[in-house]
Amino acid sequence: MEEKQARVFLWCIPRCVSTAFEICMGKLDDVQVINEPYLAAYLVGPVFQKDASDDIKEMRELSINKVSSCTVVNCDNPWESENLTFGFVKDRLEDEYPDKRVIFVKDMSYAINAETLHMLPKGYKHAFLIRNPEKVFPSYKQLLNKFTTDEVILKVGKYEVVPEHYAFGESLHVYKHLTKTGIEPKPFIMDADDLLENPESILRQFCAFAGIEYTDKLLSWDGGHDVTKHWKTSKEILQWNSIAEWHKNAFESKGFGKPTKAPLRSEMTDDVIHCIEASFPYYNQLYELRAKIN
């Protein structure tokens, strides 16, 4: 009997080792990795041109012009921004990929909302990757501060540095939509610290949920940017990530490292503390539903 193709969608928040997980999934045989398709539609597609303010459009245009001359797009056939409607993304996610046994999609939950949730692709299992806000937001600000002479303030809102509901609220909203509609009655939730502490345990559970045969090949990989070569993704997203070194640690890694401690609150700025405290009610609801190390 022909083996059934496994399709799984991983919804994430920023700075939650999701790219390392994506690289890990790329170690599977006959896998198609699709990287942040809805985020690309949200950030560079036509919907952005319709919804964003003039100031944000101007800032984004300057950013796009800066990266457009960059030649570090290590991807065979990247998607162009003018094609990136939510409908285009849905169609690409529902393509057959007949030579693949696994279709793995990683995306940010804040890239899709009440107006676009009907654009979710059919035929996928859905999972979530979360992380303690006390680790997310200090890391987020530290990374952003590397690329400006002025201190970055974590402003909150649509198209701002931090999403309207701090990314955690958006993940919870997607989770509730999936369960209420019956699309995914019981989504699989992983916490990044559990994944880092015992990757084999969490990966075995994730693979069982997704209908993927677990292999120890998932526990280690070669570093380097070549992993993106056969991804399906946006050209601009890859360019931004490369210039900003957004995924530098993941691309240089050889496997999952051990979890680190969160910085002290006394070392955090007020904007970081605000984001942490506002996120915990959302995070705690998801954390209680997570897969535990066994």
Q: Quick one: fold of 6-135+166-260+283-287?
A: Rossmann fold (3.40.50)
What local confidence, expressed as pLDDT, does residue 221 receive? 85
Instruction: Kindly list the domain boundaries of the chain, sorted by start residue.
Output: 6-135+166-260+283-287
What local confidence, expressed as pLDDT, does residue 238 receive? 73
Q: CA 181: distance to chain centroid?
A: 23
Residue 290: C-alpha distances to residues 128, 131, 183, 277 (Å): 9, 11, 18, 20
Per-residue confidence at 62, pLDDT binned at 50, 70, 90? low
Q: Helix count (H) and strand count (E) of the chain?
A: 12, 5
Contact 253, 199 (CB under 8 A): no
Per-residue confidence at 71, pLDDT binned at 50, 70, 90? very low
Contact 39, 237 (CB under 8 A): yes
- Nearest Cα residue to 72 out of 217, 229, 223: 229
For residue 109, give both structure tokens: 């939950």
**Cα dihedral 19, 23, 24, 26 sign:** positive
- According to the 3-state scheme, what is the secondary structure of 18-79? HHHHHHHHCCCCCEEEEECHHHHHHHHCHHHHHHCCHHHHHHHHHHHHHHHCCCCCCCCCCE
What local confidence, expressed as pLDDT, does residue 152 receive? 85
Give yes or no for residue 244 having a pLDDT over 60.
no
HSE, side-chain direction, 13 A CA sphere, residue 257: 11
In 150-269, alpha helices (H) = 168-181, 192-197, 199-210, 235-244, 248-252
What local confidence, expressed as pLDDT, does residue 253 receive? 73
28: left (phi over 0), alpha (psi -120 to 50) or beta: beta
pTM: 0.90
- Nearest Cα residue to 101 out of 212, 242, 18, 266: 212
pLDDT tens figures, 199-230: 999 999 999 999 999 999 999 988 666 777 88
pLDDT tens figures, 195-206: 999 999 999 999
